[in-house]
Amino acid sequence: MGKKNKAAQKKAEITADKNAVKNKKAATGNAGSSSMTNWLVVLVAILPFLISAKQIDPAVVNRFMWLAAVILIFTIVFLLRGKKTLPDNFPLPVKIVFISGAAFALWSIISSTNAVNPAEGFYVVSRQLLNLTVLFVIVFAVIHEEKQFLKIAKTLAIAGILHSFIGIFQFYEAGFTNIPGNYIPYGLMANRNLYGSAQALLIPFCLMVMQQGSRTWKYISGASLFLLVISIFFSQTRSAWLASALIFAITFILIYIFSPGNRKKWLVGSAVALFIIILTIGFLMVTNDNENFKKSIAGRAASFTGTSVDSSSEQKNVSERITIWKKTIELIKKQPVLGVGPGNWRIAIPTTGTEGTAWEAAKYVPDQPHNDYLHIASETGIPGALLYFIPWIIIGLLGLQVIIKTTSEESRLLTIFMIAGMTGFAADSMFSFPEERIEHSLYFTLMCGAVLGAWFNFHTTERNKNISIPKWATYSMVFAAVFAIFIGIKRYSFEVHLNRARGYENVGQHATVLEEAEAAKNSFNTLDPIGNSVEIYSGIAYKATKNYDKALKELKVALKYHPNSYKVYNTIGTVYTEMEQFEEAIKYYNLGLKFAPKAKEGLFNLALNYYNVKNYKGCIDALNRVENEEWKKDQFLVSIYNESSRQLSLQPQQPPK
């Protein structure tokens, strides 16, 4: 062999050694910014901690934009400009998953043509496309760096500790109560129920770290699990309790059946964990002197068995939830093919009647049926629901195949934990709405992506021929991320300015309300999370400044966006009342009361206007419809009731027919 050949051979060996070292680093997670998993770690480390009091919902849009921004950068760096490839024998089940996901987004667009307010579909569709892109990114990362997925689980285990401390401190009113939200503890999720379910979805990742991490990480994940259980208990969220129980149970069953080497360890560990959980919950109940909390826990626990407890509020809550489900099923029956359109459930649901709900008295406006399955079917029809469920069913079946057939114990355990988490998400979706929450969806997509990637690696053993990702696919993902960022910016601006308009309206700064309302308007967002448009607030501001023509113009736009809103009809009625067009006011009050027949304010307004047109019987009938005769607390209403009764007594009696 000549010197030139020897030199060439030596150079080739050095290059091969460098590539081997590079590949080893990628496999073990020491590749820095060149590691796709590290980018995902940054994503999950920051996203669930983003919150802003400027928005109406402080925990959605900012997280949505962060997710879209990271995925956009990832797509450009690793898919568009990078040299990562995929095996050319891309398996059919994986293709079906992504084709079904894309078809679901397309069907949602088609369903929007049947919507009363199509603009509300922009955000929903952008979220669907982004979630599909996130799924591909996670699958792609797991295919190339499956062993690094543990880093994501470790990050979420630490997040579990931090979120738990925040919720526990809130529960004892020891800190973090200045964070925006409703009933404590709500953590960084702005909602107690959503906090509980988000905590439950962290359990599979902690279990994975406890199984596969070092001794130090086992202690960290154990502490995280302990704190997660406490925070989930304090959340008083039944769907989170159920999801947590299923995650633990499914994990135990699958390991017991398919992982004999870990069977004894998990038997002992599960028994110890169950004992600690029972002991901890018992201690927390005994040491807590809040009787309302104890009643809430007892009532919610009893609802699982149907046992009657002394908790009328809990019984009413369950009854109303079932009523809303029945009404949602009515919507599905009315629109079985296209549905009412994405984002339009809250617009359409009042048409099914409000009997048996709190919103018949306009105490609040429903924004969710608290069942993702019914929600999706009602908005996109039965075909849309099938397209939504097909990918998750396929991923679940592929995961079972990995668990049963793989020779890699590490892949088997990864898949077991993620399948258990998916089951918990599915259970939570029966009673809540994790699908529309950014952090919940991300946790679920991480689980699905890990399972799909593990199956891909198990199924695709020969990788002699690799292909680059088609440019059209990469550009589609870039478009999905850019579109999501665009919609996110529009939604952020809408919520921030609408929130300001609400605040200024409360303090009577009407000129500033009009400025903020004008800044909030855009073609991609029309309603806030509870179904109010910005035109309601500008209409009220114009009414306060006696500019009735502009007030009616704004409110008619609000009616176009939500034609089934009691609040809009009632507000229009008040404008006509001030204009002394009482007959027109009566018309709008009655239209509004069709959707909220027990609304106290609407009935008071109706009675007053009937009195003004000397319809004394109508005045009395309206006041008699007020629950608990609350009109008697208002001296003016008492006076017009008495005067109406007197006027009726003076009218000649009609002879019987």
Digit-coded pLDDT (tens) for 318-329: 788 889 999 999
CB-side neighbour CA atoms (13 Å) of 427: 24
pLDDT of res. 313 = 61
Do the beta carbons of residue 79 and residue 91 sit within 8 Å?
no
Tell me the C-alpha distance between 515 and 616, whole Å: 42
Asked if the model's pLDDT at residue 300 lies above 70, the reply is yes
Tell me the C-alpha distance between 539 and 574, whole Å: 11
All residues at 6 or more sequence positions from 171 whose CB lies less than 8 Å from its CB, including other chains? 184, 185, 234
In a domain, residue 101? The reply is: yes
Do the beta carbons of residue 75 and residue 136 sit within 8 Å?
no
Q: Are residues 199 and 284 in the same domain?
A: yes
Would you give the distance in Å from CA 84 to the centre of its chain? 33
Do the beta carbons of residue 510 and residue 544 sit within 8 Å?
yes
Cβ atoms within 10 A of the Cβ of 102, count?
Answer: 16
Last residue of a domain, one of 439, 468, 497: 468
CATH of residue 537's domain is 1.25.40.10
Of 21-25, 29-33, 186-190, 275-279, the least confident? 21-25
Last residue of a domain, one of 412, 444, 468: 468
All residues at 6 or more sequence positions from 617 whose CB lies less than 8 Å from its CB, including other chains? 644, 648
Mean pLDDT of the chain: 89
Q: Are residues 434 and 575 in the same domain?
A: no
> Residue 38 has which token pair?
């590290």
Q: Is the dihedral of CA 396, 437, 204, 135 positive or negative?
A: positive
In a domain, residue 152? The reply is: yes
Tell me the C-alpha distance between 520 and 526, whole Å: 9
What's the pLDDT band for 386 if we cut at 50, 70, 90? very high
Average pLDDT over residues 92-96: 92
CB-side neighbour CA atoms (13 Å) of 345: 28
Q: Are residues 164 and 299 in the same domain?
A: yes
pTM over 0.75: yes
Q: Are residues 421 and 547 in the same domain?
A: no
pLDDT of res. 224 = 96
Q: Are residues 463 and 539 in the same domain?
A: no
Nearest-5° angle of CA 552, CA 557, CA 558? 95
Query: For tokens 């509300």, what's the residue?
Result: 120
In a domain, residue 559? The reply is: yes
Average pLDDT over residues 444-467: 83
Largest CA distance in the chain: 128
Q: Are residues 138 and 284 in the same domain?
A: yes
In a domain, residue 464? The reply is: yes
Average pLDDT over residues 522-551: 94
| Per-residue model confidence as pLDDT tens digits over 98-155 | 999 999 999 999 999 999 999 999 999 999 999 999 999 999 999 999 999 999 999 9
In a domain, residue 267? The reply is: yes
Q: Which domain holds residue 594?
A: 533-650
In a domain, residue 15? The reply is: no
Cα-only R_g, the chain: 29
> Helices (H) and strands (E) in the chain — how many of each?
26, 2
Q: Are residues 561 and 447 in the same domain?
A: no
What's the pLDDT band for 654 if we cut at 50, 70, 90? low
Q: Are residues 453 and 557 in the same domain?
A: no
Question: 389: closest CA among 94, 92, 101?
Answer: 101
Q: Are residues 571 and 426 in the same domain?
A: no
Of 174-183, 309-318, 379-388, 541-550, the least confident? 309-318
| Per-residue model confidence as pLDDT tens digits over 582-641 | 999 999 999 999 999 999 999 999 999 999 999 999 999 999 999 888 888 999 999 999
More confident residue, 20 or 498: 498
Count: domains in the chain: 2
pLDDT of res. 83 = 66
pLDDT of res. 657 = 55
Asked if the model's pLDDT at residue 308 lies above 60, the reply is no
What whole-number percentage of the chain has pLDDT above 90? 73
In a domain, residue 98? The reply is: yes
Last residue of a domain, one of 443, 468, 493: 468
Query: For tokens 């669930």, what's the residue?
Result: 48
Question: 485: closest CA among 177, 190, 51, 69?
Answer: 69
Do the beta carbons of residue 493 and residue 83 sit within 8 Å?
no
Average pLDDT over residues 542-564: 96
Q: Are residues 417 and 558 in the same domain?
A: no
What whole-number percentage of the chain has pLDDT above 70? 90
Tell me the C-alpha distance between 627 and 630, whole Å: 6
Asked if the model's pLDDT at residue 35 lies above 50, the reply is yes
Q: Are residues 432 and 572 in the same domain?
A: no
Q: Is the dihedral of CA 582, 586, 592, 593 positive or negative?
A: positive
Of 51-60, 299-308, 384-393, the least confident? 299-308
Q: Are residues 458 and 564 in the same domain?
A: no
What's the pLDDT band for 23 if we cut at 50, 70, 90? very low
In a domain, residue 19? The reply is: no
Question: 402: closest CA among 260, 258, 206?
Answer: 258
